[in-house]
């Protein structure tokens, strides 16, 4: 059986809390061989090695205490069949994804794919030319409460989309603690809003045509960080439907869950609403106080067969595992073919995956909206239009 070698670029919150537990679990399941992690700082690698001894992580940088290009060294060391998992600040995604494609490695990139339509177009063109699988981790597609509305919509039970309200807000620890070094280069729209932009597209298949956005800077600037606290975006879709998207990352530290989030859509034949934070499964403990607990995202449970072992389950893992399984399938079905036949088979398989996965042809949708949204915010709510190629422009 083929096993994948994996490079994870980035040693921060997502890598520690989600990606390494998933990769370690899939290594035990016989799907992953070597795990390499690349970060800017050597001390980050050392801490991950100590926390995940079973993963047998090989990390970069190994010599210098800090090296912003350690990820390139890691990719030079990666052996096929290999996958590159990108979990870095949003503005670094494009360069790293394009580099990995040129090296011929399949890619899993944390959302958003990138920040501009121009870069998304480059990634789409390059990945198709090279026959490389590039998957954006829109894990909300795997939340069954949201897959349910997509099912009923596609079956015609909901009618046609009219309007939508989505919200995604997180505690202030995100910009103040985890992303302090780069949150000025992003915003809650780009980091959080991208999920529910993709969700509207995932449900309806419609394309965005007009964006109006506003953003506020009050709390973070008072703390010396020149970043948006919050944003509100009106997205007009190709059938005239309007989505109102509300984001922020400055909720109080004592908010009982990391994220307040939900999705509501009104259609001609039905309506759907879901609180994607409060799943009516809550704890109150001496250690953590009151906690709104989401058992469906990514949580450890006792393994049925090895009760002394944690088993991580949830849609946060399902999304990454789907991409790993796709890459395994591609490599298995091309393993015994000559170079030309393998390339043709890869292109054929990826073309099929483009219909059902957040590959660049789909991920470009949310990128177009966040780029247009940022343009509108900078101009204090000026309308931004998207042409047939999703290129944003002012009127």
Tell whether the model's pLDDT for residue 63 goes beyond 90: no
| Amino acid 76: pLDDT | 96
Q: Give residue-wise pLDDT tens across range 202-258.
A: 999 999 999 999 999 999 999 999 999 999 999 999 999 999 999 999 999 999 999
Query: Rounded to the nearest 5 degrees, what angle is found at the Cα of 95, between the Cα atoms of 91 and 100?
Result: 135
Is pLDDT at 8 greater than 90 in this prediction?
yes
Q: What is the pLDDT of residue 288?
A: 87
3-class SS of residue 328: helix
Kindly state the average pLDDT of the residues 314-325: 98
Q: Which helix (H) or strand (E) holds 246?
A: strand 242-251
- Find tokens 């290009």 and name the residue: 69
**In this predicted structure, what is the pLDDT of residue 1?**
84
Partners of 8 in the β-ladder? 37, 85
Q: How far is CA 61 from the centre of its chain?
A: 25
Beta carbons of 392 and 365 less than 8 angstroms apart: no
Cα diameter, the chain: 62
How many whole angstroms separate alpha carbon 356 and alpha carbon 227? 35
Q: What is the distance between the alpha carbons of residues 257 and 284, in angstroms, rounded to a whole number?
A: 12
DSSP one-letter string for 197-243: HHHHHHHH---EEEEEEEEE-SHHHHTT--S-SEEEEEEEETTS-EE
Phi/psi at 391 (5° precision): -75, 125
d(CA 193, CA 181): 20
Residue pair 385/210 in contact by the 8 Å Cβ criterion: yes
pLDDT at 376: 98
Domain locations in the chain as residue ranges: 4-137+308-360, 141-302+366-394
pLDDT at 262 over 90: yes
CATH superfamily of 141-302+366-394: Dihydrodipicolinate Reductase; domain 2 (3.30.360.10)
What's the rounded Cα separation, in Å, for the pair 93 and 114? 6
Joined tokens for residue 167? 């919200």
Query: What's the number of CA atoms in the CB half-sphere (13 Å) around residue 222?
Result: 6
Report pLDDT digits (tens) over 356-392: 999 999 999 999 999 999 999 999 999 999 999 999 9
* DSSP code of residue 41: B
Kindly tell me the burial class for residue 324, based on how many C-beta atoms sit within 10 Å of its own C-beta (0-12, 13-18, 19 or more). Answer: buried
CB within 8 Å of 345: residues ≥ 6 apart: 333, 334, 337
- Backbone Cα Rg of the chain: 21
Q: Cis ω on the peptide bond leading into residue 61 (within 30° of 0)?
A: yes
Tens-place pLDDT, residues 133-169: 999 999 999 999 999 999 999 999 999 999 999 999 9
Rounded distance between C-alpha atoms, residue 259 and residue 104, angstroms: 36
Question: Can you list the alpha helix ranges (DSSP code H) found in the chain?
Answer: 13-14, 20-28, 42-51, 70-77, 93-102, 117-130, 144-154, 173, 188, 194-204, 219-222, 315-334, 339-353, 360-378
- Pair type for strands 289-292 and 299-302: unpaired
User: In whole numbers, what is the pLDDT of the chain averaged over residues?
Assistant: 96
Is CATH 3.40.50.300 the right assignment for the domain spanning 4-137+308-360? Answer: no
Quote the CA–CA distance of 388 and 315 in Å, as a whole number. Answer: 33
């Amino acid at each position: 059986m083929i096993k994948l070698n994996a490079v994870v670029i980035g040693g921060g919150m997502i890598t520690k809390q989600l990606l390494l537990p998933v990769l370690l679990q899939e290594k035990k399941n016989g799907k992953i061989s070597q795990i390499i992690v690349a970060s800017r700082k050597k001390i980050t690698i050392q801490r991950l090695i100590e926390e995940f001894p079973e993963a047998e992580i090989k990390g970069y940088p190994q010599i210098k205490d800090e090296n912003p290009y350690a990820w390139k060294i890691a990719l030079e060391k990666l052996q096929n069949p290999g996958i590159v998992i990108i979990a870095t600040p949003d503005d670094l995604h494009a360069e790293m994804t394009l580099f990995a494609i040129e090296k011929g490695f399949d890619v899993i990139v944390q959302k958003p794919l990138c920040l501009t339509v121009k870069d998304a177009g480059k990634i789409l063109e390059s990945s198709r030319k090279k026959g490389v699988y590039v998957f954006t981790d829109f894990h909300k597609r795997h939340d069954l409460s949201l897959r349910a509305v997509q099912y009923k919509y596609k079956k015609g039970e909901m009618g046609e989309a009219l309007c939508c309200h989505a919200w995604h807000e997180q505690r202030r620890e995100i910009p103040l603690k985890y992303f302090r070094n780069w949150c000025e280069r992003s915003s809650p729209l780009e980091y959080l809003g991208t999920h529910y932009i993709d969700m509207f597209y995932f449900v309806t298949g419609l394309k965005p045509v007009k964006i109006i956005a506003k953003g506020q800077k009050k709390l973070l600037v008072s703390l010396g960080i020149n970043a948006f606290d919050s944003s509100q975006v009106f997205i007009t879709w190709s059938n005239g439907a309007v989505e109102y998207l509300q984001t922020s990352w400055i909720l109080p530290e004592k908010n009982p869950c990391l994220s307040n989030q939900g999705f509501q859509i009104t259609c001609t034949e039905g309506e759907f609403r879901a609180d994607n934070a409060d799943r009516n499964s809550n704890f109150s403990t001496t250690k953590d106080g009151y906690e709104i607990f989401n058992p469906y995202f990514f949580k450890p449970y006792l393994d049925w067969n090895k009760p002394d072992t944690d088993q991580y389950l949830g849609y946060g893992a399902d999304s990454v595992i789907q991409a790993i399984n796709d890459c395994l399938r591609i490599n298995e079905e091309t393993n015994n073919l000559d170079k030309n036949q393998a390339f043709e088979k890869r292109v054929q398989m990826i073309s099929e995956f483009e219909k059902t996965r957040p590959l660049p042809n789909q991920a470009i949708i949310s990128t177009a909206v966040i780029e247009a949204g940022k343009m509108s915010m900078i101009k204090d709510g000026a309308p931004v239009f998207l042409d047939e190629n999703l290129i944003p422009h002012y009127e």
